[in-house]
Amino acid sequence: MGNEMIEVPLAGTAIANQEVFAETLQSLAALDKQVVVVTSDSRGSGKLVPFGKKYPAQIVEVGIAEQNLVGMAAGLASTGKKVFAVSPACFLTARALEQIKNDVAYSNNPVKLVGISAGVSYGALGSTHHSLHDFAVLRAIHNITIIAPADGFETAQAVKQVAALSQPFYLRFGKKPMPLLDMEDAIPFEIGKGRVVREGDDIALIATGETVYPALQAAHKLAREYHIEATVVSMHTIKPLDEELLAQLAQKCKAILTVEEHSVYGGLGEACAAWLLKNRYHKAFDLMGIPDEYTVTGSQTEIFNHYGISEQGIAHRALALLRV
């Protein structure tokens, strides 16, 4: 089975989404003095050290105080500044949740919350450092758009687009270098619209963030070894969900499998399931993510492999769903 014809992008071109984020933000800051980044001893992890050196007047450091980070960001944003509040996703969306709910979303202060090293990026640092709850809690809060880009292209596009919009956003990035899903950048990125990165009629793999790449690998494995053709979607916008695309996938594919670096509760999978059922699409459906248990210790890759979020694991789950 020749590998030459397989269009899975090469890892050699990989770059971490949070690095692309920092570079993009720097280019925006150069053009617009209103762009301000707020950090909580987090500029190192956020790859924002060069930003701080180049634009010291556009970076605000609050120290290790995430509630204050979000509160001050809300205040800054209320005056018309384009504010990016950057902190590890785990602390940002747990510690400062009330500030997010009240001071950003409810008061409609257009802060761009940026959760870095999200999901299980911090690996063996354990549960305090994992964010497997952020989609769930933020989905339940009105007036915040949730975006988890899959690769550098989506990241750069997302950062540019949210900067131009005066409304609350949550952007979620990991620190693992990610290959580009589509080398030609031919598939556009639009907030609220899933990116179909591969077409196939048998099963739809709907993934988000850093799980899109293994989903794409699994799709190629399914085609190569089982002649099963999968559609692969980067559902970068978790809320609002691309319902139009969901309807198309439900009509076209025999089964739907979702994949996310999040608890299986309350995230992308349950959002899709609820919408499908409510709209009478009774399909073979399954969702993959981190199960509701004491998360195994390991690197992000080890944790992914443990829970089957891998080329092999996703392909197996797809086969089981299709009863192959």
Partner 1 sequence: MNLELKSREYRRKILKYILKAKAGHTGGSLSCIDILNVLYNEVLNVSPANADAFDRDRYIQSKGHCVEALYVVLADKGFFPESDLETLCQYQSHYIGHPTRKIKGVEQNTGALGHGLPISAGVALAAKMDDLSYRVFTLLGDGELPEGSNWEAALSAAHYKLDNLCAIVDLNGLQITAPTTEVCNTEPLDKKFESFGWAVRHVDGHDIQALRDVFADLPFEKDKPSAIIAHTVKGKGVSFMENELKWHHGVPTEAQYKVAMEELENP
Ligand X SMILES: Cc1ncc(C[n+]2csc(CCOP(=O)(O)OP(=O)(O)O)c2C)c(N)n1
Positions that interact with ligand X (CB under 6 A): 41, 64, 66, 91, 95
Which does residue 127 bind out of ligand X, partner 1, none, counting CB within 5 to 8 angstroms by kind? partner 1
50 binds partner 1 (CB under 8 A): no
60 binds partner 1 (CB under 8 A): no
Angle, helices 212-226/311-321, rounded to nearest 10 degrees: 60
Q: Beta partners for 171?
A: 114, 147
Q: Report the DSSP pairing between strands 177-178 and 145-147.
A: unpaired
Which does residue 8 bind out of ligand X, partner 1, none, counting CB within 5 to 8 angstroms by kind? none
Residues between 122 and 181 that touch partner 1 (CB under 8 A) = 123-129
Closest distance between partner 1 and the C-beta of residue 59, in Å? Answer: 10
Residues between 264 and 323 that touch partner 1 (CB under 8 A) = 296-299, 302, 306
CB 297 within 8 A of CB 124: yes
Residue 110 preceded by cis peptide, ω within 30: no
CA distance 97 to 104: 10
CB 224 within 8 A of CB 199: no
Closest distance between partner 1 and the C-beta of residue 161, in Å? Answer: 29
Which does residue 24 bind out of partner 1, ligand X, none, counting CB within 5 to 8 angstroms by kind? none
**Quick one: 46 or 289, whose CB is closer to ligand X?**
46
Closest distance between partner 1 and the C-beta of residue 37, in Å? Answer: 13
Closest distance between partner 1 and the C-beta of residue 210, in Å? Answer: 19
Closest distance between partner 1 and the C-beta of residue 126, in Å? Answer: 4
Chain centre distance of CA 167? 18
**Quick one: 13 or 127, whose CB is closer to partner 1?**
127
Amino acid type, 135: F
90 binds partner 1 (CB under 8 A): yes
| Residue 201 phi, psi (nearest 5) | -100, -10
**Quick one: 45 or 231, whose CB is closer to ligand X?**
45
**Quick one: 41 or 286, whose CB is closer to ligand X?**
41
Rounded to 5°, the CA angle 49-46-210 comes to 145
Closest distance between ligand X and the C-beta of residue 76, in Å? Answer: 20
User: Using CA atoms in the order 229, 235, 238, 240, what is the torsion angle rounded to 10 degrees?
Assistant: -100
Among 17, 26, 67, 231, binds partner 1 (CB under 8 A): 67
Phi-psi region of 282 (alpha: psi -120 to 50; beta: other; left: phi over 0): beta
Query: What are the structure tokens assigned to 125, written together?
Result: 């640092």
Among 18, 24, 26, 39, binds partner 1 (CB under 8 A): 39
CA distance 35 to 49: 16
**Quick one: 43 or 317, whose CB is closer to ligand X?**
43
CB 264 within 8 A of CB 287: yes
Number of Cβ atoms within 10 Å of the Cβ of 127: 13
Q: Which residues of this chain interact with partner 1, rule CB under 8 A?
A: 39, 41-45, 61-68, 90-91, 94-95, 123-129, 296-299, 302, 306
